[in-house]
Amino acid sequence: MRGRMDAQEVLLRFKSGEMTLEEAEAFFKKEPFEELAYAKLDSHRKLRSGFAEVVFCSGKADAHLLSIYERLYEAEGEVLGTRATAHQYELVRERFPQVSYDGISKILKIEKEGKERIGEIAVCTAGTADIPVAEEAAQTAEFFGSRVERIYDVGVSGLHRLLSRLDVIQSANCVVAVAGMEGALASVIGGLVSNPVLAVPTSVGYGASMHGLSALLTMINSCANGIAVLNIDNGYGAGYMATQINRLASKQRV
């Protein structure tokens, strides 16, 4: 049970007399990482940054992935995995029947029930082909406690579609703009909102898009202010950073 408590809960239990000084001391003396020979699990990451360690599933050996999931679940009571395959889902489900898998975003997660979500993040895509990356961003943000509004298929080839949802986009604490092709969506949104825009180029497009490089260069060279650019297809990074911004805007500490 001790592993699932955070530092604040330990201090509150000690203050109320539910935990002895020795028990509280043992919690904080725990090594800042757990040595697994093939991995070093960062057990103090949530204490330092407010976010527990996330599993990048792609390329991991089956035994390593399952062991890492077990240890993180034991410590946190929930686990977020990204870039998972259907095979990895079946593997983890044998040990944890409650695990869920989304084949679009490739998110593999065990999530606590009744989680409170704060603020609002708008996740927008230029087209439906950009949704896998957008869903990685949206589901990452939701896992970490943010409320997310999805606004999909509002690219610049039909600007009226974007303008029809402008009130929602402008009211969000942060906007994630996901686009392939030429990547112009981020610049358009950047000129319409007062809050930060996180631009995510995707590898969607024809030959000259160079697997997302064209969209990346467009976003980096945007003339609109307030835009920060993530790596190509990095929905997870956008969801993580959007949550940091949302937490600050919502004036809530974790």
The pair of structure tokens assigned to 59 is 């390329």
**Average pLDDT, rounded, for the chain:** 88
User: For the whole model, what pTM was predicted?
Assistant: 0.83
The pair of structure tokens assigned to 46 is 């949530």
203, 212 contact by CB (below 8 A): yes
Angle at CA of residue 204, ends 202 and 208, nearest 5°: 105
Q: Give the chain's domains with CATH numbers.
A: 31-110 (no CATH), 118-249 (3.40.50.1970)
Write out the chain's pLDDT in tens, 254 residues.
Answer: 334 566 777 888 888 888 888 877 777 656 665 556 666 656 656 667 677 778 999 999 999 999 888 888 887 888 999 999 999 999 999 999 999 999 999 999 999 888 889 999 999 999 999 999 999 999 999 999 999 999 999 988 888 999 999 999 999 999 999 999 999 999 999 999 999 999 999 999 999 999 999 999 999 999 999 999 999 999 999 999 999 999 999 875 44
What is the distance between the alpha carbons of residues 136 and 83, in angstroms, rounded to a whole number? 9
What is the distance between the alpha carbons of residues 244 and 158, in angstroms, rounded to a whole number? 31
